Amino acid sequence: MSSRRWNLLLQLLLMALLLLPAAPAGATGQTSAEQPKVLLLYDSLASGTPRGGNILELQRQLAAYHMQVTLISLNHYEQGTMKGFSNVITVINDRELPVSKAAEEDIAGYKGQYLHVGYNPPDVMKQALKLNTGMIAEESAKLTFGLFREESLMLRQVPYIAASSAERAYGSLSLTGSGTEVPYAVSSGRFTYVPYLEAGNAGKLAMLEVLKDWLGAGAPAQTYLVIKEIYPFSDLALLEELAGRLYEAGVPFIASVRPVFSNTDFPAMQRYLEALKAVQSKNGSILVNAPVVMPSINSSDLTLNVKMNSFINLLAENGIAPLGMGADISWTYDKEYAAAGMSFFDSVVLFQDEDVIHREETNVSTAFASSLYSVTPEFLSGLKHEGKAVPQLPADTAVTVNLPEDKAGLEALLQTVNGYWITFADYKQTGHKVVTDNYTVDSAGGVVRVNGSSINVDYMPEAVSSDFEYQEEQYQSFKALFSVQNKFFIAVIAIALLLFGVLLTVGYRLYRKKY
């Protein structure tokens, strides 16, 4: 075969190889970037007991580790459901309620990571961990985990780990009455057991530590200061003073601001925007807080996406760069809110639910690349820590406070913040992205960009005039005619009054002459 034919054949082979579809990375298994999906099973919500609220607490904690969660009651569990999940959690809050046979059989054969919380750990777990449990009727205990501790923790009808051959133990419970010290939780292989979880005490941080290891979330956690309940009618001068005082103290912070969907050209709105510019200039990061949902909201109103898009655009047009969203955890379990209200953001701060009003509730959560776990200052102040080393919270956390109402509240807040053992992180240092139809806002390494250009944080205050025409003057087609009529009638009435006065005077004089 001639060299020319060989060259032609080689060229054809090369073209064929280039046209072959490339196999995607990690096509043979789960990639490292792919997050596991968690199945959360529960027997009851334990309302009215010390364990009430622990299911919601687990939902918040899993969200802090960027997990998509599917929540199913054991009463509605269908056999085979576990096969679609790499991680399964079962919470048993009532020791008298039997686990469904379908769930029990699936747990016995499940090969993924399994975590059991509460009463009645399954037999397969007991065998694997060589686990024996006891029951605390009522006793105080000291809980220690990492560098944290909580004194005088009151336990009622709580199981505990009496014995185990597990590879790893988490924290310790020192029982005051008996002097016994037992692990808070144990883990070995694919099984992890946590005897109890209560949402109202420091044990929830111990649970957060267990989840960090169970989910393989190894990245160092940061803590942020978040100020919320900021409206156009808030004391904006106080907000600016707070931002300035925090800046002088070297404390970066996040302002979660309520959106405005109408009358955005009013002076009050312009003053609101000026205040947010001042906040941004004092090393403050901006979040868009979820709007207030009213009980009477019309289910046919599907304008949330348009309204949120418009408000984010308004901020960007005025040089204000929002980096995420603040919302109650229930928003991530609502199809309408998640798709229409939260889809602009890849970063969120999830607050504890207050008033839950769903539009289209779902049992599958929406996960985000960045999601902060919210705690109150009161909870944080109750935490004690061992030694001189500064402890670190297990997950990225937002210490959430409301905007103070007066100067006294401002001074109290500053005193609390300055007294913390925490060094607050700058939200802009990590990657966040917000995308609307007109703008893309992103941050990294402390630099915030809008459509690729760094924003100017130099703030020059501008006076906002209160002179504003709140209602457009209507065109009056007969205005000139009515004006002429008014003047004519005024002249006629004036002349009539003058003649009446003359007649009255003449009549009076004639009357005097007659008598």
Task: Looking at the structure, tell me whether residues 201 and 253 fall in a common domain.
Answer: no
Task: Looking at the structure, tell me whether residues 287 and 326 fall in a common domain.
Answer: yes
Lowest mean pLDDT among 177-191, 210-224, 471-485: 471-485
* Stronger pLDDT, 461 or 251, i.e. the higher one: 251
Instruction: Examine the fold and report which residue of 454, 469, 496 is the final residue of a domain before the chain moves on.
Output: 454
Inside any domain, residue 266: yes
Q: 451, 440, 225, 224: which is closest to 346 by C-alpha? A: 440
Secondary structure in 3-state letters for 426-455: CHHHCCEEEECCCCEEEEECCEEEECCEEC
Q: Could you tell me how many residues make up the chain?
A: 515
Task: Looking at the structure, tell me whether residues 105 and 181 fall in a common domain.
Answer: yes
Quote the CA–CA distance of 203 and 149 in Å, as a whole number. 9
Task: Looking at the structure, tell me whether residues 227 and 173 fall in a common domain.
Answer: no
Q: 140, 144, 149: which is closest to 178 by C-alpha? A: 140
pLDDT value of residue 456: 80
Inside any domain, residue 204: yes
Q: Provide CB contacts within 8 A for 485, sequence distance 6+.
A: none
Quote the CA–CA distance of 347 and 386 in Å, as a whole number. 33
Range 127-146 average pLDDT:
90
Report DSSP state, residue 282: T
Q: 275, 295, 265: which is closest to 233 by C-alpha? A: 275
pLDDT confidence band for 382 (50 / 70 / 90): confident
Q: Provide CB contacts within 8 A for 391, sequence distance 6+.
A: 146, 147, 148, 385, 421
Lowest mean pLDDT among 137-146, 179-188, 282-291, 472-481: 472-481
pLDDT confidence band for 16 (50 / 70 / 90): very low
Contact at 8 Å (CB) between 307 and 259? yes
pLDDT one-digit tens code per residue, 98-129: 788 889 999 999 999 999 999 999 999 999 99
Task: Looking at the structure, tell me whether residues 230 and 182 fall in a common domain.
Answer: no
CATH number at residue 192: 3.40.50.880
Quote the CA–CA distance of 354 and 170 in Å, as a whole number. 32
Mean pLDDT of the chain: 85
Q: Which domain holds residue 69?
A: 37-215
pLDDT one-digit tens code per residue, 247-291: 999 999 999 999 998 888 888 899 999 999 999 999 999 999 999
Predicted model pTM: 0.82
pLDDT confidence band for 21 (50 / 70 / 90): very low
Quote the CA–CA distance of 467 and 444 in Å, as a whole number. 41
pLDDT confidence band for 97 (50 / 70 / 90): confident
pLDDT confidence band for 20 (50 / 70 / 90): very low
Quote the CA–CA distance of 185 and 169 in Å, as a whole number. 6
Inside any domain, residue 11: no
pLDDT value of residue 439: 96
Task: Looking at the structure, tell me whether residues 200 and 170 fall in a common domain.
Answer: yes
Instruction: Examine the fold and report which residue of 431, 454, 477 is the final residue of a domain before the chain moves on.
Output: 454
Tokens of 132: 């024996």
Whether residue 464 is predicted with pLDDT greater than 60 in this model: the reply is no
CATH number at residue 248: 3.20.20
Whether residue 501 is predicted with pLDDT greater than 70 in this model: the reply is yes
Of these ranges, 11-20, 214-223, 343-352, the one predicted with the greatest mean pLDDT is: 343-352
Contact at 8 Å (CB) between 257 and 287? yes
Task: Looking at the structure, tell me whether residues 275 and 378 fall in a common domain.
Answer: yes
Instruction: Examine the fold and report which residue of 186, 215, 244 is the final residue of a domain before the chain moves on.
Output: 215
Inside any domain, residue 515: no
Whether residue 25 is predicted with pLDDT greater than 80 in this model: the reply is no
Lowest mean pLDDT among 282-286, 319-323, 508-512: 508-512
pLDDT value of residue 428: 95
Percent of the chain residues topping a pLDDT of 70: 86
pLDDT confidence band for 481 (50 / 70 / 90): low
Inside any domain, residue 20: no
pLDDT confidence band for 28 (50 / 70 / 90): very low
pLDDT value of residue 201: 79
- For tokens 């915030």, the residue is 448
pLDDT value of residue 22: 36
How many structural domains are present in the chain?
Answer: 2
pLDDT confidence band for 15 (50 / 70 / 90): very low
Inside any domain, residue 369: yes
pLDDT value of residue 33: 45
* Stronger pLDDT, 389 or 6, i.e. the higher one: 389
pLDDT value of residue 30: 33
Task: Looking at the structure, tell me whether residues 210 and 254 fall in a common domain.
Answer: no
Tokens of 58: 């687990």
pLDDT value of residue 155: 87
Task: Looking at the structure, tell me whether residues 202 and 341 fall in a common domain.
Answer: no
Task: Looking at the structure, tell me whether residues 134 and 182 fall in a common domain.
Answer: yes
134: amino acid identity, one letter = G
Inside any domain, residue 317: yes
Quote the CA–CA distance of 33 and 360 in Å, as a whole number. 30
pLDDT value of residue 63: 96
pLDDT confidence band for 299 (50 / 70 / 90): low
Task: Looking at the structure, tell me whether residues 96 and 236 fall in a common domain.
Answer: no
Which alpha helices (H) appear in 282-406, and where do they start and end?
304-317, 335-336, 377-381
Range 192-198 average pLDDT:
93
Quote the CA–CA distance of 296 and 355 in Å, as a whole number. 13
Inside any domain, residue 247: yes
Q: Give Cα 489 distance to the centre of its chain.
A: 67
Task: Looking at the structure, tell me whether residues 163 and 244 fall in a common domain.
Answer: no
pLDDT one-digit tens code per residue, 198-240: 887 778 899 999 999 999 887 789 999 999 999 999 999 999 9
pLDDT one-digit tens code per residue, 29-76: 333 345 679 999 999 998 888 888 999 999 999 999 999 999 999 999
Contact at 8 Å (CB) between 150 and 174? no
